[in-house]
Amino acid sequence: MSLCSHARTRHYRHMGEAEDKTSSTFVQRVSSGRLHAGATIMNPRFWKPDLKADDGPGLVLASVLVGTFLLEMVSGGPIAWGVSSQALREGRWHTLAAHMVAHGGIVHLLMNLGALLALSPVVISRLGNGPAGWVRYGALLVCSGLLGATAYLVLHLDGTIPLIGASGAICGLWGFAARVEADGSFAPLFSKRAGQSTWAFAKANLILFLLFFVVMWGTGTGSGLAWEAHLGGFLFGLLVGPVWGPSTLPIAPFHEGDTDTADRP
């Protein structure tokens, strides 16, 4: 087996097996207790390896979202960050971008962080963990968020209720991941892989919609689910996947401690 094909196989193994430390994500190592005792974020060895791993971009964005949430708490809340038809009529065009990093509460934030950190490694492993891959990842998020906001605004042309949250952008990652096979190739749009992922997306949003409805009905308070933004972001990622990703599979370098050495030249 050639070095190229061997590295490519190891790069995508974590998508199906996730068996060794080098191919696991930061979240997986935390949850399994594989971070050494006394690890601290103040120690560069704690976070530098993860910035170079497939979950690096997701961790950076998660930090931005947490920081923005703290800023919201001391600046009057997230409403001013939200995008709506009324906000645009008032000339607050910055909300088209600002709404993507604002959240309505800690539960809203944690739900989006969980989805972000789960999807980012799959997406970045196909886009490539380098400067070009990070740029593609960021552009995919921004474009998905904008398409999600557009879908929301089109269906609420006279709306005054602001849209906030990164979920439209994150659903773009979900749509992109729906096209990525276990070996890193792109599945056809009307494939079993894409169909199953789309059905899972629909079910998850239906469950969320019902949960939000029950909470609002039972308490008389709460916010609705911006399914329009979710759908717009997801469809963007689903449709542009093969165009957005590089034509060749990213190749991961060998890591010290790899046991599959028999195929090395």
- In tens digits, what is the pLDDT along the chain, a chain of 265 residues? 433 433 344 344 444 443 344 445 544 544 444 444 444 444 545 444 445 557 789 999 999 999 999 999 999 889 999 999 999 999 999 999 999 999 999 999 999 999 999 999 999 999 988 889 999 999 999 999 999 999 999 999 999 999 999 999 999 999 999 999 988 889 999 999 999 999 999 999 999 989 888 877 777 666 678 999 999 999 999 999 889 988 777 765 444 444 443 344 4
> 108: how many CB neighbours lie within 10 A of its CB?
18
For residue 53, the model assigns a pLDDT of: 59
* CA-based end-to-end distance of the chain: 8
Report helix, strand or coil for 90: coil
Give, as one character, the DSSP assignment of residue 101.
G
Pinpoint the alpha helices (H) of the chain: 3-16, 26-32, 44-51, 56-73, 85-89, 95-98, 106-127, 131-154, 167-177, 192-219, 227-244
Pinpoint the alpha helices (H) of 74-130: 85-89, 95-98, 106-127
User: pTM here?
Assistant: 0.76
Angle between helices 106-127 and 131-154 (to 10 degrees): 130
